[in-house]
Structure 1
Amino acid sequence: MTTCRGWYTSGIWGCFGAFPAFGQLTPAGGHSRFGERRRRVCFVTETNRPVMKTFILYLLLVLSASAHGGVADTLLSGRLHSPGGAPVPFANAHLLRAADTVFVKAALTDETGLYRFTGIPPGKYILRFSRLGFVTTDTPPFELSRQGRDGGIFVLEETARQLDEVTVRAEKPLFLQQPYGTIVNVESSVLTKGSSVLEVLERSPGVYIDRRNNSIGLNGKSGVMVMLNGRLIRMSQEQLVNMLRGMSANDIEKIELLNTPPARYDAEGSAGVINIQLKRNRDQAEISLTGGYGWGGKAAASAGFARNVRRTGLYGNYSYNYDNMNMNWFSASDHIVPIFGGRSRSGFLSTIKPTQQSHNLNIGFDTKLDPRFSFGGGITFNRSHVKQRVRNDATYHIENGKVISLDADVKGHNRWNNIIVSLYADRQISEKSQLRIDADYLHYRNRFPTTAYSTMMDQYGNPPGPNDTILSPWQRGESGSVIQAGVVKMDHSRQISGKLKLEAGLKGTYTHTRSASGIESLVDGEWVGRAAATNNIVMNEGIGAVYLSLNAQLLKKLSLNAGARYEYASTRMRDPEKDAVVADRKLGKLFPAIFLSWKLKETSDLQLSYTKRISRPAYNDLASFVVYIDPTGMETGNPLLRPTITDNIKLGYNYKGYVFSLVYSHDRDPIIRYQLSESLTGDYLVLSPHNMHYFKSFSLQANLPVNVTKWWSMSYSVNGGWRKFQLSHTKYPATGSFWGYTANFSETFRMPAGFSVELSGWYNGPAYDGSKKADGFGMVNGGIKKEFTKNRGSLRLSVTDIFKTLRITSYFGTVTEEALDLSSKVTFSTESGIARIVKLTYSRSFGSTGLKGRRADGAGSKEERERVRN
């Protein structure tokens, strides 16, 4: 869905207004030569061949050396799996003395089924594993030496007994802090059922959804890489937002918000990584039905299953989403309009009414051929379409006395299909060594035809100019794109000793993209195309990467994770019709990632990290297309965009689940979208992405979970601090600084008779996005849930934007002088700002209660439950 793009969908002078903003501004003033500093058309090539050779040689040497062992330590670890090969999370692992079965120590398996014991004296022991839905089992007695022991994989048999009624409650908090970022356990929220994935993201700490421009930000910055089950979603921000809007949150297990990812992740994403993990429950089925209303009707349905058949696990889920929306924006502006013969004051009202339907299917399998070898695969399919109608009404008061009125009706039908096929193989080479190979294929297709009819007349009923291609009442357009991508990667890990673990890997990605678009105008009864509004681009991109990461226990309380990732990218874009190369660039760079963790006490630790990341320009931003907006302006891409390089330094402190972090971030050449400049002829405005010179931020991040009583829990998250930026694309370069912040809160009340209530909200403070400024905005949401007895499901009622506050006011012309001396104020109202959105959802689960990420009440000791929370 396009809210502020395309045929007459926006007034060039304001709709594209900004990330929220406020602050102190220091225009460079005058005719500074700052903006005249030029860079070469192609990216700076940093092949770093000597560095690359040294890095690969070092990788091979370390891998070879790993075979010779390491430092001794009394560490006992292993993994717990089900008969189908799936990890068994949150199971009790009790260490008992073999001689008399006296209890020694307890641990809890994590989400991957891993258990760990440290500080155990040498001796003979037994491990006892237990979990609801599985048979409590003891291992044979074993000898633990000073060198430690890797227990490998232990298979825990499932119970055949069917329980009449089991009450299951999520033990994990809604927000869980980890060294690399925040984990959002979406099922812990009353508001999850019936929501879209986009709505869940919008309620998550530090995440910013710009619904005007269909983009995603994290911790006050753009340049976010979004992944699905650890695989990069390779599509434009606008298309990605539409896909997430159509995905049901019922199918999501958790969302990882990683602002400082380790070296094993792609270096892409200067602001960090958002990884969406789909459910893979075992021996479970679930259905969910949702109905609701805001301005228009809402409906959703989903069904999922998972089943173990001997050593093979099968899973799948399907969801459908229907959303009839309404939004609008109003712009008041003042700027020079050469086509009208002078300065103009105008008012522009745009009403957008999109109706979206989407289908999402995810199926897959995991099979274990023997205790050391497993493989699996899956298919994720998304099909969506949006029928959209836009009504635009505007009045222009020209300084020469003319008054021109615009009445436009725009219709469009945006369709896209997305399919991802994935395969993997996992080999346990030895008790201390593991190899995994993944292969993915993505195919994406989009088609978006539009038609527009508009009338533009002065106060005497005369058109403002001739019936040419610009002022023709009838306009039609066609755009489409096909993206194909193949990814192969190999990851190897080796536990050299109890204190030292090595991870290394290789990855190759190849992407082929074809995009074509064009605009035609009805002139003298014939459809006439315009060369300036026609685009046909083919892009081929290859990215090779190699990484090395070392996990070391330096001291008893001090641990280190140090790694580096080298990536080399080659991108070539060409226009096959013109036989012209649009862009041909190569970039090789090393991205280090270092994490230090100091365990101060059992309940507190200190963390220090440094990471370097990159954000490459999106394909749509690079393509030199031209989109007709109205007679005063055009939208286009920018083939001269440079990638953003980001350095992050983070100091974190964790005390009993309370997390505080200080983060310094420096972006070089950050990419800012929807910025204004003049055309080469100076007769209309051009809307396109540009690079800022730099963006610096120093932020305090805090997450404060509080359990007031057994029935009342709350969580507060704040991310805010000082920001500074410098613009170079504007008429006069300018420097600005401001204090920006975001805040989230969640209150959960567990009531008698199976009722629970949640109140949550978020607020984004004033901020800047390039030369655009916006006031702060936010919303408050509420929900109530009823759990029925005898496993008969649950009923949820949710209200989005209770106080109808999601209105965003943005400005052009406040930082420095804009192109054609534009100044404007734009108020954008989302659907919930017009009408509260109310949804009712019924959901029910069938089968085993062995939900991944869930535990039965009272299972395990209090210490273990606290360990899960922290």
Structure 2
Amino acid sequence: MKKAVFITMISLLLTMVQEMTAQQKKDSVRTLSEVNISARRPLVIRKADRYIIDVENSFLGNGHSGLEVLQKSPGLWVSPDGNIRITGNQSVTVMINNVVQRMSPAELAEFLRTLRSENISKIEVIANPPAEYEASSSGGIVHIILKKAREQGVSGSVFARYMQQGRDPNTGGGVSVDYKLKKWYLFGSYNYMLDNSFYTGHTITDYPDKLHISNQTERDNDNTQQQARAGIVYDFSKAHSLNVQYMMNRGRLDQHFHSALTYRRPDSTTTGEANTNWVRTPRFSSTTLSYAWTIDSLGSSLKIIGDYSYAGREESNTLVSVYTDTTMSRGLRTFTPSTTDMYSAQADYSHAMKGKAAIRAGLKYVQTNRHNSIAAEEDSDGGWIKSPARSDDFRYNEHLLMFYGAYEKLIKRTAVKAGLRGEQTYSEGISLITGETISRKYFGWFPSLFIDHTLDEKQGNSIQFNYARRVRRPAYNDLNPYRLQVNDFAILTGNPDLQPQYTHSIQAGYTWRREYSAALYVKSTTDYIAQTARTIQERVIEHMSKNYPYHTEVGMSLNAPVTILKNWRSNNGLLLYFATTDIDEVRISRTSISLKTSQQFEWKKVMDVDLYAEYNSPYIVANARKAHVFFTDLGMSRKVWKNGRVRLSLTDIFNTFRERDITEYAGTRIDFYQKRPTRKIGLSFVWNFSAGKAFTKKKIETNNSEERSRMGN
């Protein structure tokens, strides 16, 4: 099977090489708000509060997946498992046309692989979000904006992908369609992914009393995922429009674990086997209604947005373990369904003034209702009986009232933007089983300031400074006072005493010739939320999120694009940072470095070739020390027929990517290792179609960004 697939892919590649299709390059003139640039457009456009990556007018716009576009974008760091960073080791919030993508890193990575670069207009990278955005996302925001330019009538694309990953395949496909008729605009898309994969790994735990537990695990994954998006826009006039949008994500994650166990005491050794079936069916949907009014020719506007979102998950975990010491053998089954309903309403007003100034203000209200249940059962003589001590039923309600004001002005060559945001939180939760309650009421101010001063407009040299205060509220699951037995040796525990963490973030940067950049940053966090592990009884480790006094991160980043030859371009990045965390009167510190290079070579009339390599040195997350990471990807693509493109990709060529970390706590050492099938060979094809005159694709906005990111946690 593998050999046949490989031969087929090579044959297709040779066909690509044999076909000789001329590619046209277009240089044009774009007028920016800051400067006028002729000839080739710059890849990066910088503003006071963010920088923008121009995907559609660069090499990133041809034949890449959405994940590959992010990976090759300046200033972003993307690992094969879907972890996306701007600075340090804090994950970012990903938005697509103002809709937050609420998924786990692995699910998000698969979703981004179904998104095509041909449909992406630009990417906004916001390290310190301004007052218009909610005060969450301490790791920053990556906002993907899809293309607006489309054809009058019908336009769209069809996409298909096959990838061999080790012994198993990964397949996917999708279609997107847009239709414009006078004042009406309709759009829709659907993507499907089937992922079969095989993992190996181990967890080795050594206790201070010389107790040793070894867990060697094999994991089979059979996952499916679907995404759909549909909407309609009606333009009453040039100034007024009404938008309705529906989004849906749904999946089934069916995973089987087989573990070989060794339990060694100083005076005896016990061995065994464990089998676990873990099945999850997550689903998410949202419906958004928005009205937009363009008030005047200067750009003043009013937007009113209402949104309802639903997240649900059915989850079951069945564990059966058999040991040579029969007293340790057991069967345990847990059912953990959850539902979340979220209602939100928002109004944003922007008043543009003469003299290149603007005032912005807005209000937002969000109500969230969460229901989590745990039903635990134990195996008793071949039958399952309920375990009340391990069961729970938890309800949580939260109300957020938010408002903001911001002022921005261009003073000669200096752009200044200042804002202030206030957020009031009311929350309460109750365990229907134990009667334990949670009641919170707190308010926070979140100021922000952005300054961008142009030193030399002709050369494109400038300096930047920004500051913002951010908050991270506890995830709903983390507040749930539950105890979930993951396996014989690990328990997940909620923490109803968890408090929000607050971060002060400062960044200063310098840009040379519009593309070369350097930045220094400091992030200081109080009541830092981190999940740590501790021993609670013999052979059992408890994993629980807790607040710790301080977490500090100081770092610098560099980005240097280089044109080696006319048809050979390179983009290189460096991230160096020092992180320190105080955990239970122990200070854990580490200096880490990340390096990446992206090479793009245009072989005229034959193909485009790209090579990507990334290295991350060891780093820390809470009290876990993560091992270094290195991987290299190679891609070859070619335009075929009139509007098609075929791409051959080889990921993690040297099979070097793996996950490994060591956690030490109170004399206990946990050594974790996992190897995914990251060395893959894949073939994808995308075909774009259109018919009609040019029209403008509307961007529909939603307003519950931060809350959605917490729904799946």
Letter of the aligned partner of 1:444 in structure 2? Answer: A
Letter of the aligned partner of 2:49 in structure 1? Answer: Y
Residue 305 in structure 1 maps to residue 177 in structure 2: yes
Cα distance between partner residues in 2 of 1:538 and 1:210: 35
Larger radius of gyration: 1
Equivalent residues in 2 for 1:162-201, closer than 5 Å: 177-183=46-52, 188=58, 195=65, 201=70
Conserved in 1, the CA contact under 8 Å of 2:550 and 2:581?
yes
Conserved in 1, the CA contact under 8 Å of 2:466 and 2:506?
yes
Distance 1:331 1:842, change over 3 A: same
Aligned equivalent of 1:750, options 585, 598, 602:
602
SS in structure 2 at match of 1:721: strand
Residue 785 in structure 1 maps to residue 637 in structure 2: yes
Conserved in 2, the CA contact under 8 Å of 1:206 and 1:220?
no
Distance 1:449 1:208, change over 3 A: farther
Conserved in 2, the CA contact under 8 Å of 1:491 and 1:505?
yes
Letter of the aligned partner of 2:497 in structure 1? Answer: L
2:589 maps to 737
Aligned equivalent of 1:229, options 97, 104, 122:
97
SS in structure 2 at match of 1:430: coil
RMSD: 2.9
In structure 2, the gaps of 5 or more residues are 1-25, 698-713
The Cα of 1:443 is off from its aligned counterpart by 0.9
1:537 maps to 394
Residue 324 in structure 1 maps to residue 196 in structure 2: yes
Letter of the aligned partner of 1:803 in structure 2? Answer: F
Letter of the aligned partner of 1:592 in structure 2? Answer: P
1:823 maps to 669
Distance 1:488 1:207, change over 3 A: same
Conserved in 2, the CA contact under 8 Å of 1:435 and 1:491?
yes
Letter of the aligned partner of 1:689 in structure 2? Answer: S
TM-score, normalised to structure 2, is 0.86
Equivalent residues in 2 for 1:650-689, closer than 5 Å: 650-656=507-513, 657-673=515-531, 675-679=532-536, 684-689=540-545
SS in structure 2 at match of 1:242: helix
Distance 1:424 1:191, change over 3 A: closer
Residue 374 in structure 1 maps to residue 296 in structure 2: no
2:450 maps to 595
Conserved in 1, the CA contact under 8 Å of 2:131 and 2:405?
yes
Cα distance between partner residues in 1 of 2:137 and 2:380: 45
Aligned equivalent of 2:343, options 466, 483, 486:
486
Equivalent residues in 2 for 1:399-414, closer than 5 Å: 399-400=266-267, 402-414=268-280
Equivalent residues in 2 for 1:57-456, closer than 5 Å: 108=30, 177-183=46-52, 188=58, 195=65, 201=70, 217-222=85-90, 224-233=92-101, 238=104, 241-247=106-112, 248-250=114-116, 253=120, 254-279=122-147, 282-283=150-151, 284-295=155-166, 296-335=168-207, 343-400=210-267, 402-432=268-298, 433-456=300-323
Cα distance between partner residues in 2 of 1:301 and 1:268: 33
SS in structure 1 at match of 2:566: coil
Letter of the aligned partner of 2:134 in structure 1? Answer: D
Distance 1:852 1:308, change over 3 A: closer
SS in structure 1 at match of 2:496: coil
Choose between structure 1 and 2: higher strand proportion.
2
Equivalent residues in 2 for 1:807-822, closer than 5 Å: 807-813=658-664, 818-819=665-666, 821-822=667-668
The Cα of 1:205 is off from its aligned counterpart by 5.6
Cα distance between partner residues in 2 of 1:204 and 1:550: 30
Cα distance between partner residues in 2 of 1:201 and 1:352: 29
Conserved in 2, the CA contact under 8 Å of 1:250 and 1:302?
no
Conserved in 1, the CA contact under 8 Å of 2:243 and 2:290?
yes
Between the aligned residues of both structures, percent identity stands at: 22
Letter of the aligned partner of 1:322 in structure 2? Answer: L
Conserved in 1, the CA contact under 8 Å of 2:48 and 2:417?
no
Letter of the aligned partner of 1:783 in structure 2? Answer: G
1:157 maps to none
Conserved in 2, the CA contact under 8 Å of 1:194 and 1:839?
no
The Cα of 1:410 is off from its aligned counterpart by 1.2
Letter of the aligned partner of 2:449 in structure 1? Answer: I
Letter of the aligned partner of 2:283 in structure 1? Answer: N
The alignment of Structure 1 onto Structure 2 pairs a total of residues equal to 657
Conserved in 2, the CA contact under 8 Å of 1:451 and 1:477?
yes
Letter of the aligned partner of 2:237 in structure 1? Answer: D
- Render the CA deviation track for 1:72-121: whole Å, top value 9, x for unaligned: xxxxxxxxxxxxxxxxxx998xxxxxxxxxxxxxx7366xxxx7899xxx
2:462 maps to 605
Conserved in 2, the CA contact under 8 Å of 1:717 and 1:745?
yes
Cα distance between partner residues in 2 of 1:177 and 1:541: 37
Aligned equivalent of 1:727, options 578, 583, 594:
583
Cα distance between partner residues in 2 of 1:784 and 1:811: 38
Conserved in 1, the CA contact under 8 Å of 2:63 and 2:637?
no
SS in structure 1 at match of 2:116: helix
Conserved in 1, the CA contact under 8 Å of 2:431 and 2:481?
no
Distance 1:392 1:812, change over 3 A: same
The Cα of 1:481 is off from its aligned counterpart by 0.9
Cα distance between partner residues in 2 of 1:277 and 1:189: 17
Letter of the aligned partner of 2:163 in structure 1? Answer: G
Conserved in 2, the CA contact under 8 Å of 1:203 and 1:761?
no
Cα distance between partner residues in 1 of 2:206 and 2:538: 17
Aligned equivalent of 1:794, options 641, 645, 670:
645
Distance 1:776 1:177, change over 3 A: farther
Cα distance between partner residues in 2 of 1:173 and 1:193: 20
Conserved in 2, the CA contact under 8 Å of 1:255 and 1:275?
yes
Cα distance between partner residues in 1 of 2:128 and 2:306: 25
2:690 maps to 847
- Render the CA deviation track for 1:152-182: whole Å, top value 9, x for unaligned: xxxxxxxxxxxxxxxxxx9766666554345
Cα distance between partner residues in 1 of 2:355 and 2:184: 32
The Cα of 1:748 is off from its aligned counterpart by 0.6
Cα distance between partner residues in 1 of 2:194 and 2:71: 19
Cα distance between partner residues in 1 of 2:686 and 2:306: 34
Conserved in 2, the CA contact under 8 Å of 1:307 and 1:315?
yes
1:573 maps to 429
Residue 638 in structure 1 maps to residue 495 in structure 2: yes
SS in structure 1 at match of 2:533: strand
Conserved in 2, the CA contact under 8 Å of 1:194 and 1:841?
no
Letter of the aligned partner of 1:831 in structure 2? Answer: P
Cα distance between partner residues in 2 of 1:824 and 1:650: 36
Cα distance between partner residues in 2 of 1:346 and 1:678: 13
Cα distance between partner residues in 1 of 2:270 and 2:73: 45
Conserved in 1, the CA contact under 8 Å of 2:75 and 2:559?
no
Conserved in 2, the CA contact under 8 Å of 1:479 and 1:518?
yes
Cα distance between partner residues in 1 of 2:645 and 2:78: 29
SS in structure 2 at match of 1:646: strand
The Cα of 1:757 is off from its aligned counterpart by 0.4
Distance 1:850 1:429, change over 3 A: closer
Conserved in 2, the CA contact under 8 Å of 1:306 and 1:316?
yes
Cα distance between partner residues in 1 of 2:49 and 2:574: 17
Cα distance between partner residues in 2 of 1:755 and 1:312: 39
In structure 1, the gaps of 5 or more residues are 1-89, 93-106, 119-169, 337-341, 466-470, 854-870
Conserved in 2, the CA contact under 8 Å of 1:177 and 1:659?
no
Conserved in 2, the CA contact under 8 Å of 1:426 and 1:435?
yes
Conserved in 1, the CA contact under 8 Å of 2:362 and 2:404?
yes
